Structure 1
Amino acid sequence: MKSKQVGVIGGGQLAWMMAEIAPRLDLELIVQTPKQDDPAVICTKDVVLAGVDDAIATKELASRCHWITFENEFIDLDALRSLAQQGVCFRPSLDALAPLLDKYEQRSYLSSIGLPVPQFRSLSEIKDLETITEFPIVLKARRHGYDGQGTFILQDKAELTAIWNKFQCPPMLLEEFVPFTKELAVMVARNAAGKIIVYPVVETHQKNQVCRWVIAPAAISVKVKQEIEQIARTLVDELQVVGIFGIELFLTPQETILVNEIAPRTHNSGHYTLDACDISQFEMQLRTVADLEIATPQFKTPGAVMVNLLGYENSNSDYQAKRDRLADLPQTFVHWYGKSESRLGRKLGHVTVLLKEEELAQATAIAQKIESIWYE
Structure 2
Amino acid sequence: MNRVGIIGGGQLAWMMADAAKKLSVELIIQTPSQTDPAVAIATQTILAPIDDADSTAHLAACCDVITFENEFVDLDALSHLEKQGVCFRPSLSALKPLLDKYDQRCYLRDRHLPVPKFFALEAGSSTRTAEFPIVLKTRRHGYDGQGTFILKTAEELAAILKTLNDQPLLVEEFVPFDRELAVMAARSLTGEIVVYPVVETQQENQVCHRVIAPADLPASITVEVETIARILLESLQVVGIFGIELFLTHEGKVLVNEIAPRTHNSGHYTIDACVTSQFEQQLRALCRLPLGSPALTCDGAVMVNLLGYESSESDYLDKRQQLAKIPGAFVHWYSKTESRLGRKLGHVTVLLEDSSNLRQRAIEIGHTIESIWYET
Output the TM-score relative to the length of structure 1: 0.98
Q: What amino acid is the match of 2:249?
A: T
Superposed CA deviations along residues 177-224 of structure 1, whole A, max 9, x for unmatched, are: 001000000000000000000000000000000000000000000000
8 Å contact kept, 2:197–2:294: no
Structure 1 residue 170: Cα displacement: 2.9
1:292 equivalent in alignment to 2:297: no
Structure 1 residue 359: Cα displacement: 5.9
In the other structure, the counterpart of 1:269 is 266
In the other structure, the counterpart of 1:123 is 121
8 Å contact kept, 1:67–1:289: yes
Superposed CA deviations along residues 134-171 of structure 1, whole A, max 9, x for unmatched, are: 11100000000000000000011111111001122332
In the other structure, the counterpart of 2:236 is 239
| SS across alignment from 2:177 | coil
Structure 1 residue 44: Cα displacement: 1.1
| SS across alignment from 2:109 | helix
Q: 1:317 aligns with which of 306, 314, 317?
A: 314
8 Å contact kept, 2:196–2:295: no
1:14 equivalent in alignment to 2:20: no
In the other structure, the counterpart of 1:146 is 143
1:43 equivalent in alignment to 2:41: yes
RMSD over equivalenced CA pairs, Å: 0.9
1:346 equivalent in alignment to 2:338: no
Q: Distance in 2 between matches of 1:177 and 1:144?
A: 21
Q: What amino acid is the match of 2:191?
A: G
Q: What amino acid is the match of 1:29?
A: L
8 Å contact kept, 2:274–2:296: yes
Which piece of structure 1 moves more, 195-204 or 293-302?
Answer: 293-302
Q: What amino acid is the match of 2:111?
A: I
Q: What amino acid is the match of 2:104?
A: Q
1:216 equivalent in alignment to 2:217: no
Q: What amino acid is the match of 1:153?
A: I
Structure 1 residue 45: Cα displacement: 2.2
8 Å contact kept, 1:123–1:170: no
Q: What amino acid is the match of 2:340?
A: R
Structure 1 residue 130: Cα displacement: 3.1
In the other structure, the counterpart of 1:112 is 110
In the other structure, the counterpart of 2:361 is 362
Q: Distance in 2 between matches of 1:21 and 1:195?
A: 20
Q: Distance in 2 between matches of 1:180 and 1:344?
A: 27
Q: Distance in 1 between matches of 2:246 and 2:357?
A: 25
8 Å contact kept, 1:122–1:172: yes
8 Å contact kept, 1:198–1:296: no
Q: 2:64 aligns with which of 55, 63, 66?
A: 66
8 Å contact kept, 1:129–1:161: no
Structure 1 residue 21: Cα displacement: 1.8
Alignment map for 1:68-217 (pairs within 5 Å)? 68-132=66-130, 134-217=131-214
In the other structure, the counterpart of 2:373 is 374
| SS across alignment from 1:367 | helix
Superposed CA deviations along residues 12-32 of structure 1, whole A, max 9, x for unmatched, are: 000000123201101100010
Superposed CA deviations along residues 231-288 of structure 1, whole A, max 9, x for unmatched, are: 0000000000000000000000111000000000000000000000110000000000
8 Å contact kept, 2:145–2:207: yes
Q: What amino acid is the match of 1:327?
A: A
Superposed CA deviations along residues 51-77 of structure 1, whole A, max 9, x for unmatched, are: 111110000000000000110000000
| SS across alignment from 1:63 | helix
Q: What amino acid is the match of 2:307?
A: L
Q: What amino acid is the match of 1:10?
A: G
8 Å contact kept, 1:11–1:71: yes
Which piece of structure 1 moves more, 21-30 or 359-368?
Answer: 359-368
Q: Distance in 1 between matches of 2:208 and 2:370?
A: 13
Q: Distance in 1 between matches of 2:23 and 2:232?
A: 27
Q: Distance in 2 between matches of 1:183 and 1:158?
A: 28
Q: Distance in 1 between matches of 2:323 and 2:13?
A: 24
8 Å contact kept, 1:301–1:355: yes
Unaligned runs of 5+ in 1: none
| SS across alignment from 2:20 | helix
Q: Distance in 1 between matches of 2:43 and 2:194?
A: 31
Unaligned runs of 5+ in 2: none
Structure 1 residue 300: Cα displacement: 1.3
Q: Distance in 2 between matches of 1:165 and 1:330?
A: 50
Q: What amino acid is the match of 2:124?
A: I
8 Å contact kept, 1:6–1:27: yes
1:57 equivalent in alignment to 2:55: yes
Q: Percent identity?
A: 63
| SS across alignment from 1:288 | helix
| SS across alignment from 1:185 | strand
- Counting matched residue pairs gives 373
Output the TM-score relative to the length of structure 2: 0.98
